Amino acid sequence: MKQKFVKKSILPGFSLSLGFTVFYLSLFVLIPLSMIFLRTSSLSFKEFLDVIMAERTLAAYRLSFGTAFASACINAVFGLIVAWVLVRYSFPGKRIVDAMVDFPLALPTAVAGIALTELYVPNGLLGKFLQAWGIKGAFTPFGITIALTFIGLPFVVRTLQPVLEDVDPQIEEAAASLGANRWQTVTMVIFPVIIPALLTGVTLAFARAIGEYGSVIFIAGNMPMKTEIAPLLIMTKLEQYDYTGATAIAVGMLLISFILLGAANFFQWLTSRNLGRT
Amino acid sequence: MQVRTEPRIVRYVLITIALVFFGLFLVLPLVCVFQNALSKGWVVYFDALRHPDALAAMKMTMITALIVVPCNLIFGVAAAWAVSKFDFKGKNLLLSFIDLPLSVSPVIAGLIFILLFGAQGVLGPWLIAHNIRIVFAWPGIILATIFVTVPMVARELIPIMKSQGTEEEEAALTLGASGWKTFWMVSIPNIRWGILYGVILCNARAMGEFGAVSVVSGHIRGLTNTMPLHVEILYNEYQSAAAFAVASILAMLAIVTLIAKSIVEANIRQGQK
Amino acid sequence: MSIEVRNIHKKFGEFQALVDLSLKIETGELLALLGPSGCGKTTLLRIVAGLDFADQGQVFFGDQDAQNQKASERGVGFVFQHYALFRHMTVFDNIAFGMNVQPKKVRPSREEIRKKVMELLKLVQLEWLANRYPWQLSGGQRQRIALARALAVRPRVLLLDEPFGSLDAQVRKELRLWLRRFHDESHITTLFVTHDQEEALEVADRIVVMNQGRIEQMGTPEDVYHNPVNAFVLNFLGNVNFFHCRLVEGKAIIGDTVLDVPGLSVDKPHPAKLYVRPNQFKLSRYAGKGTALKATVEYVNPAGTVVKVNLKTETGELIHAEISQEEYKHLKIVKTEQVFVSLKDVTYSEHLKNNP
């Protein structure tokens, strides 16, 4: 039997709402975004590789992915602790802490960028401490990692929180009644359920960190080959009117982002399976 | 309860770690903004805010938000209506397209509009011939901001509408209401908190967007500067106190956003009872 | 207003929800659509309401074809399984909704609407809840408000989808009786869907038993209970035991035992399946006249209006029987004792073609 495009419904407005959605999305998102691929297709593969494999580009990619990965790992640990504490324990000021988790998303990135820089410059509040230990804060990959950790935190905490809340209390009680101690219950019963959610959150934080610009450029120092992140390199190429170079670098970043997005969706699917939802 | 928690010492250690991390990464930057803003006293602070360039940037930011948020609101409601009330082919594809801008770096979001409307861009020659400026002018800022914030309202509405199903609309129709009346009297009131929530988030992002806007703005003082761009310029000119003064306004906006958000969240939770 | 559906077909993808289904509900009738979940009963109800669309077939209200009538024009009162009360409106506004959305020309005045709403609240005995919101009400209260809301538009027919499905047993019983009384007074044509046989038997004038998109049997509650036309209906309406046997001249031969079967006339001997309700067994301590099945008592539960007895015959078949408290007092059977089982009646016998 021929399948119809839409299941007939008595609710009104399907063609209007879908039509508008597709129109708006095409106009403001899909057509502009397709420019990237249109532009790239005018390049030969060798030209593309020349841009992508240039030493400066590779250094920028390495720096972007490296610091993004490091910050994702930091958030995996501390994000888990923050989410756990917020869901499981009660302490004074918990509601404020809970609301503040979204602060990095609400604060314009440029503001975050200059504030973090001011904190981590050698004579800044935290920079002074680091200086005493012989660590340079701002204008190093370490500084970039700090900015990306700030940006990524809400992704990890907000993906974990609902899942932690949904873990059936009875499975913990069952584990305890079967003789497991608390550590065994947590590691053998709870963690397996929440780990896909943790991976989802970490992947989202990682993807966001790779493309992040505003909060990083102030603290990064922006030295080519050393502290120049990939989005900044795109910016530099644009300022030199090298549109093709900028586009090629963008394509590389986009592909990675889409792969990460696919991974995040897969982990999300695992989570809902683990929680017994369909 | 005993079974489901850790020994007291473990609890305290974890809470302490969480709070220290929280303080270092979230509270200190916020404090730093206000501390630096007032480092040269109130006079410098207010002078920075009263400066014509600062006022122009605020105006530009407001105008951007006033255009972008309603556009994305209408889009969000339409998209959520189509996706959550009907079954059609290609729905999942549409959903991932809606989320697409979230996984695109802000710099790339700006870049695509340069490629489309810039002098070397696809439509560039035609625009120049007709003397229309899109990039390095306010229309570019608005387009880039729309791109970045497209999913913000839709993302909040879709799960809410989905969980509400279609029974209430069906009930309204059997009671004799027309489709239009059903939409305004039943569907919209049911998602009013979700709409507010989406608008708050969309507004915060629209006002604060930096990367995408930075690429397309051209940084023309008093003309195409938004507040975040103004902050950057001041900071790069070593006018730290002035930069932080403008930044403090944006930080306050973030705090207001968070407060509004938690109030609305509480209401959404109650509505789901 | 009578309702008639003719030759309705409906598919969901590959799943046949309704197969060539025809049915007529007479004016003023209270009819139950009874069947297991997935049998198509809710789909049929939604098609009648205009909430869903048949692939083929017609729906008539009176003698008017409803094909071109939208749900909002059909004048049906539909009560949803999960009530579907408007969550952002008070109880009062919920009930008034149907009147408020009428075109200005025919809309009653505010005062008239208020009077009508209070009248309906009184009918469902919930006047004091007018200013509450749905989430502040109990399930039974929500259900009654949903009914009042549906009645506010003076529907020509009332359609109820599993109206008591998600309520506690006690509330369900109360509302059932209330609905029956309401119907006796209003005589509004009512079609309701349920999977609860007890509910259908107790409330409806007529029952339509459905299975896999088809009608298995239509009739009064008495009729479908006592004269089921097939094994499905029999199984669905109450518990039943069955035996493979051979029928010869009004007797059933089960293994080596020949049992009297009252009310069964057979001309030719043939193999059959015999269906017996739990209350159609007679238990005794001695083999009386005629023969009886020898069985061992495996379980006795005297807590309840009837006494439940599980038995195992010599040939290993299990029997679930119910006897009255009087019989139980008289018999005084306990576990592991041996008793004789004979038949008072049989509900249904199915002819089998070949020798078992």
Q: How near does any CA of chain B get to the CA of C28, in Å?
A: 20
Please choose, from the candidates C112, C115, C5, the residue with its C-alpha nearest in 3D space to the C-alpha of residue C52.
C5
Give C100-110 pLDDT, tens digit per residue: 988 888 889 99
Chain C residues inside the 8 Å CB shell of A3: 13
ipTM metric:
0.90
C219 CB-side CA count, 13 A: 13
A2 inside 8 A of chain C by CB: no
Domain ranges of chain A: 39-277
Between chain A and chain B, the number of residue pairs with CB atoms below 8 A apart is 294
Give the neighbours of chain C: at least 3 Cβ pairs within 8 Å: A, B
Name, in order, each residue with C-beta under 8 angstroms of A151's C-beta and a sequence gap of 6 or more: A71, A104, A109, A112, A205, A208, A209, A212, A215
Question: Cβ distance A227 to A139 under 8 Å?
Answer: yes
Q: With CB atoms and an 8 Å threshold, state whether B21 touches A235.
A: no
Closest in A1, A3, A10 to C71, CB measured: A10
Q: With CB atoms and an 8 Å threshold, state whether A1 touches C70.
A: no
Chain A residues inside the 8 Å CB shell of C14: 1
Element (H, E) at B10: helix B8-22
Would you place residue A278 in the very low, low, confident or very high pLDDT band (cuts 50, 70, 90)? Answer: very low
Q: What is the pTM of this model?
A: 0.86
Higher pLDDT, C351 or B113: B113
CA distances from A74 to A25, A148, B184 (A): 35, 10, 47
Would you place residue A1 in the very low, low, confident or very high pLDDT band (cuts 50, 70, 90)? Answer: very low
Name, in order, each residue with C-beta under 8 angstroms of B236's C-beta and a sequence gap of 6 or more: none
Would you place residue A2 in the very low, low, confident or very high pLDDT band (cuts 50, 70, 90)? Answer: very low
Please choose, from the candidates A215, A234, A218, the residue with its C-alpha nearest in 3D space to the C-alpha of residue A60.
A234
CA distances from C101 to C66, C97, C221 (A): 22, 6, 39
Give C325-356 pLDDT, tens digit per residue: 888 888 888 888 888 888 887 777 776 655 43
Closest in A29, A111, A186 to B147, CB measured: A29
Closest in A29, A95, A106 to B254, CB measured: A106
Chain C residues inside the 8 Å CB shell of B172: 86, 97, 101
Write phi, then psi, for A151 (nearest 5 degrees): -70, -35
Higher pLDDT, B269 or C114: C114
Q: With CB atoms and an 8 Å threshold, state whether C86 touches B171.
A: yes
Residue A88 has pLDDT above 60, yes or no: yes
For the CA atoms of A187, A188, A191, A195, the dihedral, rounded to the nearest 10 degrees, stands at 120
Closest in A35, A98, A99 to B112, CB measured: A35
Closest in B4, B166, B208 to A109, CB measured: B208
Instruction: Supply the pLDDT for residue C148.
Output: 92
Give the neighbours of chain A: at least 3 Cβ pairs within 8 Å: B, C
A12 inside 8 A of chain B by CB: yes
Q: With CB atoms and an 8 Å threshold, state whether C86 touches B168.
A: yes
Is CATH 1.10.10.10 the right assignment for the domain spanning A39-277? no
Give the neighbours of chain B: at least 3 Cβ pairs within 8 Å: A, C
- Residue of chain B minimizing CA distance to A33: B112
Instruction: Supply the pLDDT for residue C45.
Output: 93
